[in-house]
Structure 1
Amino acid sequence: MRYDEEHKAKTRQRIIEEAAKRFRRDGVNATSVQTLMKALKLTHGGFYGHFTSKDELIDEALRYCLLEIGAVTPVSLTGDRPLPEFIQRYLSTVHRDEPARGCIFPTVSAELGQRGAAHPATDQALLARLGQLGEHLPDSQDAVLVLSTLVGALVLSRGVADPKLSDHILDAARSALLELLEAKSSGAQC
């Protein structure tokens, strides 16, 4: 049975969305094409009617994650106190506990680097986020520092078994970043 182009496009989008969720929650290596397609009640062979390889899917899922990240952390930094609000939300227990809906960097950055298969989409995503942060900071190095601290703290908080230690990691990173912003805003407007 042949499907029309609209059906094919919707199916492709479903695959991308499910992959994005699984890549954030489980990682790229732990998400096999077979498992992914089975979860969508599609055939493993049908995957190749939509993508030439898993690498193509990785690129598409990373791009999608950039658009969909607002589920837990805001995509744009707007409001009265955009950067402090972003930091509060990023280093929240909700974001820690729901990786499938959050930022992709904590889950896939190290994994893609270890595979020797970093993707241009990762660079694009990182540069876009640094650009957003940089709009609210006086120095571009500060954007790198803030993002690195956010991602690192989230990774560590997810990687420990003790809930109190996990909360402490989030609290300490949040406090340090907010203090940094306060110090920077005293010297220059954020």
Structure 2
Amino acid sequence: MPYPEGHKIKVRGRIIESAAQAFRMNGIRDISVPVIMKGAGLTHGGFYSHFDNKEQLVAEACQYAISDTIALLQEAANQEKQEPKINAVIHYYLSQQHRDRTEMGCILPALSSEISRSSEEVRNIFTQEVERMIDFLADLAEVDKSTASALLSSMVGTLLLARSVSDSTLSDNLLTAGKQHAKELIKTS
């Protein structure tokens, strides 16, 4: 009996979602195709009917993860009624919840160091996704791309450091300082 229409697309989506979650938590190098497929509820034998190689999956997982992050940030902005919408995005991005839920968080702090050593194909897709995130921030904050680039760099760096330290007080202080700095950056632009 043949699969229903759209089955292959749904399965591919589950694989990409599983990969994005696994890469956010453990990086690219330490995650194997069988682990990704198991996370999608599949056996690893079917991987190559959906992807040419792991590099293609990494590229598509980056696209998926950035889309997911932008959607979460847009939702935070849409819920804000008082402050400028960009402040809601800054608060969400540099929150304890975002810091602690790595598997659902922004992929930029999780993968940037590994991506810099990846294939040209993956780096090109990652570059496009970083540009998309910059455009999102520039539009929302009504600032130029240079300011949005600085904002993104500041937020990603803050989140990376806050996730990296073992001292929870220091981590919280980094988030607080990052929020203050990010808001000042927008105010002065």
Amino acid at match of 1:134: A
The share of aligned pairs that are identical, in percent, is 37
Amino acid at match of 2:111: V
Equivalent residue, structure 1, for 2:16: 16
Query: Could you list the runs of 5+ residues in structure 2 that have no partner in the other structure?
Result: none
Equivalent residue, structure 2, for 1:58: 58
- CA-atom RMSD in angstroms: 2.2
Cα separation, partners in 2 of 1:71 and 1:161, compared to 1, 3 Å = farther
Q: Comparing 126-135 with 88-97, which one deviates more in the overlay?
A: 126-135
Q: Structure 2 matches for 1:88-99, cutoff 5 A?
A: 88-99=91-102
Cα deviation, residue 157, structure 1:
0.4
Greater share of helix residues, 1 or 2?
2
Query: Could you list the runs of 5+ residues in structure 1 that have no partner in the other structure?
Result: 185-190
Size of the alignment, in residue pairs? 184
Q: Distance in 2 between matches of 1:5 and 1:51?
A: 19
Matched, 1:131 2:135: yes
Cα deviation, residue 160, structure 1:
0.6
Q: Comparing 42-51 with 174-183, which one deviates more in the overlay?
A: 174-183
Cα separation, partners in 2 of 1:75 and 1:130, compared to 1, 3 Å = farther
Q: Structure 2 matches for 1:38-77, cutoff 5 A?
A: 38-70=38-70, 72-74=72-74
Q: Is the 8 A contact 2:18 2:37 kept in 1?
A: no
Q: Distance in 2 between matches of 1:60 and 1:115?
A: 14
Q: Is the 8 A contact 1:73 1:103 kept in 2?
A: no
Q: Which of 65, 85, 89 is 1:86 aligned to?
A: 89
Cα deviation, residue 72, structure 1:
4.6
Give the structure-2-normalised TM-score: 0.86
Q: Distance in 2 between matches of 1:39 and 1:158?
A: 24
Question: What SS does structure 1 have at the residue aligned with 2:28?
Answer: coil
Question: What SS does structure 1 have at the residue aligned with 2:117?
Answer: helix
Q: Is the 8 A contact 2:143 2:186 kept in 1?
A: no
Q: Structure 2 matches for 1:97-176, cutoff 5 A?
A: 97-115=100-118, 117=120, 118-135=122-139, 136-176=141-181
Cα separation, partners in 2 of 1:91 and 1:153, compared to 1, 3 Å = same
